[in-house]
A and B are shown apart, each in its own frame.
Chain A
Amino acid sequence: MEPSIFFDEVNERQGVFHRRAFLLGGMAGAGLLAMTGRLVALQLVQANRYQTLSASNQFNFRLRPPPRGRILDRNGVEIASNRPDFRLTVSRDEISNVETTLDAVSRLLPMDDARRSQLKREISNSPRFVPVAVADGLTWEEFARVNVRTPELRGVNADMGEARVYPYGGAFAHVIGYVSKINKAELDKEGPNPEPLLLHPGFRIGKQGVEKALDQQLRGKAGGQKVEVDAVGRVVREDPEGDIKAVPGKDVQLTLDADIQARALEVMGDESGAIVVMDCRNGDLLCMVSSPSFDANRFASGVSGAEYRALMNYERKPLLDKVMTGTYPPGSTFKPTVALAALSAGVDPEQRVHCGGSWYWGGRSWRCWKHGGHGSQTMHDAIKNSCDIYFYQTALRIGPDEIAKAAHAVGFGQIFDIGIPGQKKGVVGSREWKRTAVKREPKWQPGDSVSYGIGQGYVAVNALQLAVMTSRIANSKKALNPRLIKSVGGVDTPPGDAAPDLPFPPEHLAYVRGAMVAVANDTSGTAYRQSQLGLGDIQMAGKTGTAQVRSYAGLASRNSAHYEWKFKDHNLFVAFAPVDDPRYAVAVIVEHGGLGGATAGAPRAREVMRVALLKDPEIRARIEKPLPLPDVPEAVDAEGAAPDQPTVAQAAPAGPPQPRTQG
């Protein structure tokens, strides 16, 4: 080997190395510059975008359900509100084993096996990330006891929320309904991406009545509690300043009066039926009670299967709303309507009809409720005495279409827009109606008209319609519409007197009203004894009714007092007061209450009417400071031996001067 070559070799290798090392250094430098360029792009150019992404990683909004809007009565009394509720929730995505978690929970809050298996099912069926409430309505002690332990129990959270409470229990159950957990069907209706609020364990959806009809308004908007979370979603910190406030649901004010409502339920006692009170000046519904009722609070907290079955199977049907859904033959309460129809048809009210207790027509005998007969009757007498023979004949004379026209005009056979669903419109018979509705026998038979005249046969009404009918007759000007929702979120709904005029001349209405005054105030009226208010000179007018439940053929007597409950007649009564300045109309239906509206219906109507009148400050002033009546001092003494003649004359000043035929 030549040293010189070796030396050159070495130099050449060194030279190559130096060049290449320089290049390598250059490449490393270029690489680092490229990295710097990338950093410029990420950290300077796109910084905002990544800062947003980082913040959305870091912060989360925990759903805060809004307080549900309250439901108030006309005076602002809460009839549905919210109370604080302590509950325990389990999040499925955070627990590893349902059994061990439930074991741990049941050590804190004992639970029975049925509850446990129900919870197990609920937890395993719940969507991921949606906590399940395993215990509601904890006491403060229980809540505190659980709360100190929950940090050890992963996925178990003690949570304070709000629960719906109905201070009047069952009094408003049918009108305002109740809330309960959202079910699968309701959730499916919300579409593929339901609002997260709906899945919150504290969320309740309106199931019936006002709670259902105005659910969207009552619901409000969920807020968010800003929390800082880590990568697995555990809350690290709370950030009260970043919270999004929940928007509370709107308060709904009803036209109902809690005192009248409560009294109405009370006077119904164990009876099955309905009471409706309506303001006959503007259509406001002051009372809508269906009896027997149920405690809506039980439903809000989740009613048990056994309790629900018991309510379902009870023969007096507590779950049915008898105000709007139950329809009944109006019986004799239909007679004022028939009278209006007859007057419209040109029947002379003074033309007398003889009642001998029964009337033979069409091959059979039509009986009056009074077997002995009423004798010679004008229209006034016939209403006062509730004479069937008069109305059999009158109805036959004027025909069904005339009656149907009047019935529609006073409010039967229709559904009123009062803001809640569930009304049945009932039946108002006419030739046209029967042709389409009764396939078996489409032709209207004259005999149909005869029954029609006393509110039987092809006629069925609900309690709300009865109240509307009474209000319209009492108002005698406007075809009032009932109003239930007074305001939603402070915005008033249109009043019920924004309605067309009644298609009856005032003198016809006055005549019928005069007859209804006589029913309650003429000593021979069918409801005289039961209709005395005992409120000074304030008097009530009314009309009794008995709705036949089954055919009387083969039965010894129409007096069904000794029959089994479910075969007894329905007992109806409609009334308005005060007679000289009608303010309130009442309709009472007592299912299977027995014969004659006076026995079961009228006393209840009177009690409810008393409350309504006593709550009215103007009426109250009038009672406490009677108008000076120097001539007739006895008139104040309504409980006394009722000098009916002058009272009636005073009480019905609008009525045409009709000669009284009976005392």
Chain B
Amino acid sequence: MTASALTRPGERERVSIKLLEIDWRLGILLCAIAGVGALMLYSIAGSSWEPWADRHLIRFGLCFIVMLVLALVDLRVWFLSAYPVYVMGLLLLVAVELVGHNALGATRWLKLGPFQIQPSEIMKIGVVLALARFYHGVSAKDARLSWKLLIPAALIGAPVLLVAHQPDLGTAVLITLTGAGVMFMAGLSWRVLAVGAIGALAAIPPFVLFVLHDYQRNRILTFLDPEKDPSGTGYHILQSKIALGSGGLMGKGYGLGSQSQLNFLPEKHTDFIFATFAEEFGFLGCLGLLTLYAGVIVIALRIASISHSHFGRLSAAGVTCTFALYVLINAAMVMGLAPVVGIPMPLLSYGGTVMVTVMIGFGLVMAVRVHRYSEISSGRGALF
């Protein structure tokens, strides 16, 4: 067994050993999901690699390599770069506010030479890293309930407010819930959780009525009663449910989903790709796909729990939390259980930005796994 060899000093630093330590089960699951995505994109394009399936696969391939490279990055480097990444993300978010590129009424993009970057995506990783870094140096008692918790609250609140102002409600909710998830796993008091949950629920009605933009409010009203205006705002949800429901047990068959092939289903290749999949592969196909996602979540949580460092545990768990939220929110939206927010199905939906974010996240998870035995001693009180 390699276990004895790994005990030798310096042995774990060898790249070949590190590559072996990468969790390949997780890698294969990710490839499987992306493969299903490519399969669906091929079908939606009318049995053609153009224009989506080929690019989806190429992007995934590149992202997979990035993930492998990141997996080899020492966890201490991740640890040290946590705050810088967070601060940079925050600065970029501020920059978006000032000089951002406006698209479809929302300012989310920042032009950097030939690249367009979306700082809110960086922030999804940034918040997880910063929180994990923070909790790494906090005692269980303080993590449970203390004045120090104002710091993670601020770490979450600042980017959320900026993102919400863009406005990108979906991402704001995602970052909030991810942050809450990390705080929860760090040991936040149940009482605080309960108060926070009740407070959040109580805040929803006034928030919807007074803060949201009209189109956002319409989405929520539509969600509550999609049949009211089937050809207008309720169209997305209704068509998505028709696609899902008409799939039945076995599905209509690969390439035969009329809802998506004939364009009744909007965003069929991005946010609503799950509905397309469900139409063509039916209930059994959906069970299989959800099992793949469940497998990813279980393996990632397992990786988090075997890490020796608190930073590693919390960062891997935070990434898993983000991933799970993506899956659950998108599935709920497609099935008409949540309002239409721009949250894609990770790795299945066409679109580069989210894929990059998710794969960088899994790079971190893999790094946690590869470096699960490393101790990060400088943690406690590093900030204070």
**A interface, CB within 8 angstroms of B:** 1, 6, 9-10, 12-14, 16-18, 20-21, 23-25, 28-29, 31-32, 34-36, 38-40, 42-44, 46-47, 49-51, 53-55, 57-58, 228-232, 236
Contact = CB atoms under 8 A, between A and B. Distances in A.
Contacts of B248: 43-44, 47, 51
7 contacts: A13-B186, A13-B310, A36-B286, A39-B278, A57-B264, A58-B264, A230-B264
Nearest to A38: B335
Interface string B254-287: 0000110011100000000000001000110011
Given A16-B186, A24-B324, A44-B283, 14 more contacts: A16-B140, A20-B185, A20-B186, A28-B324, A32-B293, A38-B337, A39-B244, A39-B278, A43-B244, A43-B278, A43-B286, A54-B243, A57-B242, A230-B263
Closest 9 CB pairs of A and B: A50-B245, A54-B246, A231-B263, A16-B187, A230-B262, A47-B248, A43-B283, A12-B140, A58-B258
B317 interface: yes
Nearest to A25: B301
Contacts of B298: 25
B332 interface: yes
A10 B278 CA distance: 45
A17 B310 contact: yes
A35 B187 contact: no
A31 B328 contact: yes
Given A28-B324, A50-B246, A42 B305 contact: no
Contacts of B287: 36, 39
A9 B139 CA distance: 6
Contact of B305 (A21, A31, A36, A57): A21
Interface of B: 139-140, 143, 181, 184-187, 239, 241-249, 258-259, 262-264, 278, 282-283, 286-287, 290, 293-294, 297-298, 301, 304-305, 310, 313-314, 317, 320-321, 324, 327-328, 331-332, 335, 337, 380
A53 B140 contact: no
B236 to A, nearest CB: 12
B263 A25 contact: no
Contacts of A28: 294, 297, 324, 328
Looking at chain B's contact residues, is the secondary structure mostly helix, strand, loop, or mixed? helix
A392 B239 CA distance: 88
Nearest to A52: B246
B262 A58 contact: yes
Contacts of B321: 24
A157 B332 CA distance: 43
Nearest to A236: B262
B304 A21 contact: yes
A1 B181 CA distance: 29
A28 B332 CA distance: 13
Contacts of B332: 35, 38
A619 B324 CA distance: 99
Nearest to B291: A32
B259 A57 contact: yes
A495 B324 CA distance: 85
A36 B328 CA distance: 11
B111 to A, nearest CB: 33
A35 B140 contact: no
Contact of A17 (B245, B278, B317, B380): B317
Contacts of B139: 9, 13
A231 B286 contact: no
B264 A49 contact: no
B305 A18 contact: yes
Given A13-B143, A43-B282, A36 B259 contact: no
A334 to B, nearest CB: 70
A29 B263 contact: no
Contacts of A24: 181, 184-185, 301, 317, 320-321, 324
Contact of B241 (A17, A23, A42, A44): A42
A20 B283 contact: no
A632 to B, nearest CB: 89
Nearest to A8: B140
A50 B283 contact: no
B138 to A, nearest CB: 8
Contacts of B290: 32, 35-36
Contacts of A44: 248-249, 283
Contact of B246 (A18, A39, A51): A51
Contacts of A16: 140, 143, 186-187
A54 B244 CA distance: 10
A69 B324 CA distance: 67
Contacts of B247: 43, 47
B265 to A, nearest CB: 8
Nearest to B293: A32
A14 B313 CA distance: 9
A581 B282 CA distance: 84
Contacts of B282: 43
Contacts of A229: 262
Contacts of B324: 24, 28, 31
A22 B321 CA distance: 12
A55 B310 CA distance: 54
Contacts of A17: 185-187, 304-305, 310, 313-314, 317
Contacts of A55: 246
A102 B300 CA distance: 64
Contacts of A34: 337
A21 B317 contact: yes
A45 to B, nearest CB: 9
A53 B187 contact: no
A17 B307 CA distance: 11
A228 B258 CA distance: 10
Nearest to A10: B310
Contact of A25 (B243, B246, B297, B335): B297
Contacts of B245: 42-43, 46-47, 49-51, 53-54
A16 B258 CA distance: 49
B181 A39 contact: no
